[in-house]
Structure 1
Amino acid sequence: MVKFYEMVERLYELDVKLSKLEWVQYTTGYDFGIEEAHEEINNFLKDEKNYSLVLEYMEKASGPVEKRKGEILYNEFKSYHLTKELNDLNFEIQKKTNELSKILNTFRFKIDGKEVSGVDIDCILSREDDRELRKKAFFAKNQIDKPMVDNGFIDLINLRNEYAGMYGEKDFMEYRIKSDELSPNIFDTWEDDLKEHIIVLNEKGREYARKFIGSEELMPWDYSYIKSKISSSLNSHVDMSNYYNVLREFFLNFGFDINKFNITYDIFPRKNKSEWGYNFPIKYGEDSRILANVKNQYREYEVLLHETGHGIHSFMLNPEEIILNMGISGIIEEGIADLFEEFLYDKMFYEKFFTNSVEKEFEEIHEYDKISHLRFVGNIFFDHELYKNDLKSLDDIYNLYFKVYSKLYNDKPYNQKPPFGFRIHYTTHPIYMHNYFMGDVTCSMLKKVFYRKYGVDSISKKPKEFGNFLFEQVIKPSGLYKYEELFEKISGEKFSLKWYF
């Protein structure tokens, strides 16, 4: 057992090393050995002596906790002990993913020949009254599509499908779902379950289009603008230099003091820095890092609340339980982050910036966000479909994009090319985006269960109790159970999209 736990510690050290290297690449654009770090982990997982320790542990495991630990580690190691070809292919996938992520993280869009950041584009999309300029900004995002495909994006998809086939699965989508310990048919009813709600979404979209832009049709370059028209306060100027104190005071409401946690923030844009928002849980209980890109607007606290939720989660876990922490579902992680993100519209958070005069507009925008977020399901289905179709060219990807969105939302294809490659998840975190929406469903379930248990209609009425509820019911047992098991344990029912509404 001593050798077994020494082996686990060593594997964790290698993961920590890789996470630190990825942090550097995402914040500076420099790669100081990510490929080599991947290879070091691969070689460790391929080592027969290490694998035999896992098998021996599984054989001797007696209680449910030990058996779960054995299951988690076995899932981590088993694919490295099937064939050499599978291992070689896995390393090739990692190498290609790293190559493309470097392109994504350092790429900058241009509008009328002038370089603009993703933050600048978001500002245009949310604040610019000129609809044509918003449209131009939206389509500027497709500038990354061709470089991604020219440098092997479709090859990466094919490599992943080839890997899944060698592993014995139909395609990479099915491989990932099973790897994430989800039921293989968990998405089968989504389209039918969402139909009536998408009808409401489209009707609401037309209503807002008529009201705010004098049109019968809401287009993708209008969504952020409509949000700003519903709630102009979202774009209010705030001094982000005080962000840390704002966040600390807010999270103290729940009994979480981020001063006690070693969370590093890197929140302002610069050249060669990734334009997305991330949390890097470098080492549970010791080191968590947050990357964001803000420009002194209130709405940008949304990403800081979300990522700080991740950071707090990583520090609330028992750092000694290395194996169980490896088994935490990405859906649970995103659900906890989503919980705190939603406080952007809650008085407990916004009272630092506004008077009660914003209450009605924040209530309306929160309701609009809830229904409009159903558009995100299109990204999830498109992500899945990339691995279910034989793609040969960039045009094949565009045609697939329109097919997915036409079927789901009855969207009409537009003349210009739909941006997709800018969304880094398709490259670095494939078949992951469902975690966000399922995280929202989980977030909604947790709130309803808490309301019922404590006889309240808002978390803000008993925030300390909610902090304790979150720790005891979700964070503490989150590695011990597969996602659907934990969902049912907390809610008393099987996972269903009905919890979202």
Structure 2
Amino acid sequence: MEFQIPERKYLPKDFKVKDWETLKPYFETLLNDEINSGKELESWFHKLSELEAVVSEEMAWRYIKMTCDTSDEKLAESFEDFVRNIQPHIAPYNDKLNRKALSSPFLAAVKEKDGFDIMIREMEKDVEIFREENIPLETEISSLSQKYGAILGGMEIEYEGKQLTLQQAAVKLQSTDRELRESIYKKIANRRLEDKSKLDELFSELIRLRTDVAKNAGFANYRDYKFKSMGRFDYTPQDCFDFHESVKEEVVPLLNEIAKERKEKLDLSTLMPWDKAVDTSGKESLKPFNDAEDLTAKTIKVFNKLDPYLGDCLLKMIEMKHLDLESRKGKAPGGYNYPLSETGVPFIFMNATSTLQDMVTLLHEGGHAVHSFLMNDLELTEFKNPPSEIAELASMSMELITLDHWDVFFENEEELKRAKTEHLEGIIQTLPWVATIDKFQHWVYENPNHTLEDRKKAWNKIFDTFSDSLTDWSDLEEIKDYLWHKQLHLFEVPFYYIEYGMAQLGAIAVWKNFKDNPKKGLESYMEALKLGYTKSIPEVYEKANIKFDFSKENISQLMNFVKSEMGNI
């Protein structure tokens, strides 16, 4: 892969973001620049883009380093410093710069260029919702949000004299020893429950602050504010409710079928929560790789089989040491691909142990990474920030279009079939969970003054709506009450979750196209990703030769396709 980090044209090559005082002059210069033509306005946008890229990458690295080691107080302080002492100063300047651009008499000419209309639409939205009094509130929210990762990053359980992270312990839930599974499940759940009050208080405080932000901006609730803030121009809360209803009617029955089959194959009188991850044939859990190095090498091989360009993306990341994959004490939970706006080479973080889910996670985050590389030729930083409905399409599609090459991980035909079946069942299980978390968020922010008891009741009602009817939660009520505590999106990135459902539907459609015509299917997928956010969400989906559609009819058709493919395995 021929790849060069772009040279700076506006900021000095050796400039590093240390504090606000060293950064401020560059914002001031942009604010005071005279713009006398469309060409000069375009040039001004390029300067702003470079500044945004440099600032964004600085924040990214502080976040990455902090999540890689939550026990290092200096790393936490560095991120906190950015959130408290740099970001709040940038916010009012961003608003002034937006207003300067939007008031330019040359805006109409620039707006005709590809992508600029989408960017300007975002700027208009940002101006509409910006309130000076929200800056300290947003600072407080950012600071509080990082506490979630620190709390979960410190959670461990004891097993056979060793301390295991919750991610490492969860691997034991695939054991064929049912007593062991039960023991591990309860240890993990009870460890989370130790911090239930701490997490409840944190969430309540976040709800309070977020609601204040919404009220200040003139919105009835934080949900409505967040839809505007996230630039959801292409769908409404009602579309989300329709999605919930479609999933309840078209997907939950499939969930029941899977649970019924699992109960029968395992020959159980009662299906318990710790029976969900074990292989139904009674075999030990799949182990697709040995360690992070093996996982990376095999993933590159799979990517190469689709297109050598895809493998080259990961090789570049290895070369630049932009991968941190193995689970260890002190790492924040979860996994992510963090785009790095200036260098153009993203960073993948995850907590791999040795499971099928870990393998899929790297394929998923690898999809995000490939998306970052494919967008590198776009003109402005803003064009490279697609909304999650597009970003998650990139990652979830990658999971599916690589399926035919999973023999790289599983040489044994029987294990390969098991892996594919588990993954496709996982898709059927994902959609109801997405609906659960999303519907819960709608309720939380529509009813911000709720009590902890109200919250518990609402959670259980929603959870029951989208769960299979066979799993027995008797004597596990408290564990069930707090299952939502494990979902970091609720704490760190509110309302960012429905996108997984929408993108999952799109990914199934991409996969269907790929199965019909691999060459054309892959080409359409990559061409769509190259657009970044220069087109609307429906237009990007159309470029991928799929529909942005979460109607009951579409979900039914896609689920039938998944069932058909499961039958072909």
Give the TM bin, normalised by the shorter chain. 0.7 to 0.9
Match of 1:61 among 100, 107, 110: 110
Tell me whether 1:471 sits opposite 2:526 in the alignment: yes
User: What are the ranges of 5 or more consecutive residues in structure 2 without an aligned counterpart?
Assistant: 1-40, 560-569
Report the TM-score, using the length of structure 2 for normalisation. Answer: 0.77
Assess, with a 3 A threshold, how the Cα gap between structure 1 residues 242 and 406 changes in structure 2: closer, same or farther. Answer: closer
- Alignment of 1:339 with 2:397, yes or no, is yes
Q: How does 1:4-403 map to 2 (within 5 A)?
A: 4-29=45-70, 30-38=75-83, 39-47=85-93, 49-55=96-102, 56=104, 58-63=107-112, 65=114, 66-76=116-126, 78-80=128-130, 83-109=131-157, 115-127=163-175, 128-130=177-179, 132-140=182-190, 141-150=192-201, 152-178=202-228, 179-181=230-232, 182-184=234-236, 185-194=238-247, 195-216=249-270, 218-225=271-278, 228-229=279-280, 232=283, 234-236=285-287, 238-240=289-291, 241-253=293-305, 254-255=307-308, 256=310, 257-258=312-313, 259-261=315-317, 262=320, 264-283=322-341, 286-342=344-400, 346-376=403-433, 377-390=435-448, 393-403=451-461
Q: Which has the larger Rg?
A: 2
* Residues 1:297 and 1:54: Cα distance change in structure 2 (over 3 Å): same
State the 1:27 CA deviation: 0.3
Amino acid at match of 1:222: D
Cα pair distance change 1:271/1:77, threshold 3 Å: farther
Alpha-carbon distance change, 312 to 149 in structure 1, aligned in 2, over 3 angstroms:
same
Paired letter, 1:23: I
Aligned residue pair count = 484
Partner residue, 2:506:
442
Q: Deviations over 1:276-328 (max 9, x none)?
A: 11111123653311111222345421111111111111111125533443541
Alpha-carbon spacing, 1:12–1:75, altered in 2? closer, same or farther (3 Å)? farther
Superposed CA offset, 1:174-219 (max 9, x none): 3223323241122121233221431232133123113215135x34
Q: 1:148 to 1:110 in 2, by over 3 A?
A: farther
Counterpart residue number, 1:417: 479
> Is this contact kept in 2: 1:263–1:290, CA < 8 A?
no
Gaps of 5+ in 1: none
**Structure 1 counterpart of 2:88, one-letter code:** N
Could you say what secondary structure the match of 2:410 adopts?
Answer: coil
Secondary structure of the 2:178 match is coil
Question: Cα offset for 1:470?
Answer: 2.0
Paired with 1:110 and 1:354, the residues of 2 have a C-alpha distance of 34
Higher mean C-alpha displacement, 423-432 vs 402-411: 402-411
Separation in structure 2 between the aligned mates of residue 177 and residue 164 of structure 1, nearest angstrom: 11
Distance 2:409 2:296 in 1: 13
What is the CA distance between 1:272 and its match in structure 2?
1.4
Q: Is the 8 A contact 1:235 1:299 kept in 2?
A: no
CA distance in 2, matches of 1:265, 1:441: 28
Structure 2 CA distance for aligned equivalents of residues 15 and 26 of structure 1: 17
Between the aligned partners of 2:262 and 2:455, the Cα distance in structure 1 is: 30
Judge conservation of contact 1:145–1:422 (CA < 8 Å) in 2: no
Look up the SS of the partner of 1:208 in the other structure.
helix
Structure 1 distance, partners of 2:96, 2:217, is 22
Q: Distance in 1 between matches of 2:96 and 2:214?
A: 26
Q: Deviations over 1:41-67 (max 9, x none)?
A: 332231264233331264553415222
Distance 2:245 2:125 in 1: 33
Q: Deviations over 1:238-281 (max 9, x none)?
A: 32232232122221122322324546111112221112111111
The worse-fitting range, judged by mean Cα deviation, of 172-181 and 20-29 is 172-181
Scaled by the length of structure 1, the TM-score of the pair is 0.86
Q: What is the CA–CA distance in structure 2 between the aligned matches of 1:469 and 1:87, rounded to whole Å?
A: 41
Separation in 2 of the partners of 1:113 and 1:149?
Answer: 31
Q: Is the 8 A contact 1:335 1:442 kept in 2?
A: yes
Distance in structure 1 (CA, Å) of the matches to 2:505 and 2:258: 21
Distance 1:301 1:360, change over 3 A: closer
Partner SS, residue 33 of structure 1: helix
Q: Is the deviation greater in 130-139 or in 241-250?
A: 130-139
Q: Shift in Å at residue 374 of structure 1? A: 3.2
AA in 1 matched with 2:78: G
- Return the letter of the residue paired with 1:209: K
Closer/same/farther in 2, CA of residues 99 and 197 from structure 1, 3 Å limit:
closer
CA RMSD of aligned residues (A): 3.0
Name the SS for the 1:386 alignment partner: helix
- CA displacement, residues 102-123 of structure 1 (integer Å, 9 cap, x when unaligned): 3333344567997431223311
